[in-house]
Structure 1
Amino acid sequence: MANIEFRDYLRAIRDESHRFREVLTDCDPAARVPGCPAWDADDLLWHLAETQWFWARTVRERPDSPDDSDDGPERPEGHDALLEAFDDYSAQLVTELGKADPADTAWTWSAEQTVGFIHRRQAHEALVHRLDAEQAAGAVTPLDPRLAADGVEECLDVMFGAAPSWGTWHPLQHFLRVDCTDTGDSVWVQVGRFTGTNPADGTDVDEDDIRVVDAPRAEPDAVIEGPAGALDAWLWRRSDDAEIKVHGDRGIYGHFRKAVNHPID
């Protein structure tokens, strides 16, 4: 994948958050959010505000786990108060990340426990929710291709391909390649199954799963291709597949689709 430096992730957090705020300033607070159907525009505004507050606090205070923190800020009443809270928390996140070394240790929900993970994850959080805001307001603009290409890899590797430690990954010798046609980036994905018993509720799990892998010494069973922005939005269930083409084994593609065919907020 194209290398994105941490200063570019920080710039993306700032710019995408600015666009998010700009769009929601005059959007009907009750407008529905297509990518998150349970939310209206003000719910979306508070979600990103609260998320950015949490990660600003995490970078600033470095708790050992989120259990060490309080319940977070109370949601303000009214649209204008939500906008003010967002401005405050978003500025805090940019400030704290700007002061921190990306290589520093910090708690995250991922196996990667670094400030750098927070840079990347929050850049894509802001990007996707900017798209949510634009869809709610009916004012969609393109995603930056370079950031979206990185988002394709991040979505497949971190959001879909990172399984909990209580289960087992069973790889199959079948691979797909996801090609971003406008940037030249590619992501290789291996299909398989994930099994285990969820300790939280005792549920037995046996489901289709994927992992991002280095390019194997084999041709892909299937290729999925499209512009980076279209692929990123499609994987996040924020758009259809009108700009996406699939070549090769439809059965392996179907396995992949089952593994990624669930919503992420």
Structure 2
Amino acid sequence: MTSIEPEEYYAALAEQTAHLAVAVRDADQRLTIPTCPDWTLGRLAQHVGRAHRWAAAVVEQQSLTPVDSKKLDDMRIPEDAKGRVDWLQAGAARVVAAIRETGPETTVWTWAGVQPAMFWARRMTHETAIHRADAELALGRAFMLSPQLAADGISEWFTLLASAHLAERSGAPPITDGTRMHLHATEDELGKAGEWLVHGTPSGFEWEHEHAKGEVGVRGPASGLLLVMMRRLPRTHPGVEVLGNGAVLDRWLEHTSF
């Protein structure tokens, strides 16, 4: 469940895509992305634009099975700067248009099973934001999200990881049965939405918005917590504080790559 409204996701997707487009517009497309070491900046941008078009196609077709991306058109990013910007923004706009046309409650295929089409607005918003972070960090620039959007990114990530469809593919559980991990965002305005308690179960893990002690606690601004949990920043990053058994967090991070 999310407190962010559909129109807010649509706006956030457009905004994050615009920021990414500006970041990649005039930069060296051959620049290596340290947080995605097999990718260059150009490949990262193309990945995001392709993801937008693929998600839009799933919604447009009201597909209940994965869509073959190889059969989709307009999947190559232009080489010129203006073309890159236009192509990225067009992909994000297509996602929004598809959901508006189909209806946000229409059920379609997702990685987490059949879900309302609105799943893809949320997923593409956070996919774009994280890859924008990859680009900004590679370019030596600061990255920041609104506390609300960053907190929602953490919640969405936990929800995805807890999905039975993804858990089946993840191998060893990221947290052992009976172990608890607590995250606390330092922005007071988030309230309970800025608290996460993850607890291991015999079949994987569950999470909830709750303030409680765990074997490990992680505290910091929501954007910093998001980037640590998404393995974009080390847990030793300034501003992020790890309390208790850091090995619990290390295990979590080791087993939650995606």
TM-score, normalisation: structure 2: 0.82
Quote the offset at 1:11 in angstroms: 1.0
What does residue range 1-265 of structure 1 map to in structure 2 within 5 Å? 3-66=3-66, 70-73=70-73, 74-76=75-77, 78-80=79-81, 81-159=83-161, 162-164=166-168, 172-182=177-187, 183-184=190-191, 185-191=194-200, 210-213=205-208, 215=210, 219-241=213-235, 242=237, 243-248=239-244, 250=245, 253-261=246-254, 264=257
Larger RCO (CA within 8 A; separation ≥ 6): 1
CA RMSD of aligned residues (A): 3.0
Once residues 71 and 131 of structure 1 are traced to their aligned partners in structure 2, the CA distance between those partners, rounded to angstroms, is 29
Deviation at 1:113, TM superposition (A): 1.6
Displacement after TM superposition at 1:147 (Å): 0.3
**Within 2, Cα distance between the matches of 1:228 and 1:171?**
25
State the shift of 1:259 in Å.
2.6
Equivalent position SS for 2:177: strand
Percentage of matched positions with identical amino acids: 25
After TM superposition, the structure 1 stretch with the greater mean CA deviation from structure 2, 43-52 or 96-105, is: 96-105
Kept in 1, the 8 Å contact 2:179–2:215? The answer is yes
Do the aligned partners of residues 36 and 18 (structure 1) sit closer, same or farther apart at CA in structure 2, a change above 3 Å counting? same
Q: What are structure 2's unaligned runs of at least 5 residues?
A: none
Equivalent position SS for 1:247? strand
Distance (whole Å) between structure 2 residues aligned to residue 2 and residue 77 of structure 1? 35
CA-to-partner distance for each residue in 1:190-244, whole Å, 9 max, x for gaps? Answer: 13576xxxxxxxxxxxxxx64324659x743332111100000111121223222
SS of equivalent to 2:39: coil
Please give the alpha-carbon distance, in whole angstroms, between the structure 1 residues aligned to 2:49 and 2:103. Answer: 23
Instruction: Single out whichever of 151-160 and 47-56 deviates more from structure 2.
Output: 151-160
> 2: distance between equivalents of 1:70 and 1:189?
38
Shift of 1:68: 6.2
Q: Distance in 2 between matches of 1:210 and 1:123?
A: 25
* TM-fit CA distance, 1:83: 4.2
Distance 2:67 2:57 in 1: 13
Provide Cα deviations, 1:87-115, integer angstroms capped at 9, x if missing partner. 33222112222334322201111135221
The whole-number CA distance in structure 2 between the counterparts of 1:181 and 1:119 is 27
3-state SS, counterpart of residue 92 of structure 2: helix
Task: Write the letter of the residue equivalent to 2:232.
Answer: R
Distance (Å, rounded) in 1 between the aligned partners of 2:108 and 2:121 = 11
CA 230–35 in structure 1, closer or farther in 2 if over 3 Å, else same: same
Partner AA of 2:8 in structure 1: D
Q: Distance in 2 between matches of 1:160 and 1:256?
A: 16
How many residue pairs align between the two structures?
Answer: 247
Alpha-carbon distance in 1 for matches of 2:255, 2:29: 26
Question: Is the CA contact (8 Å cut-off) linking 2:137 and 2:143 kept in structure 1?
Answer: no
- Give, in whole Å, the separation in 2 of the partners of 1:110 and 1:138: 34
User: What amino acid is the match of 2:206?
Assistant: R
Residue type of the alignment partner of 2:76: R
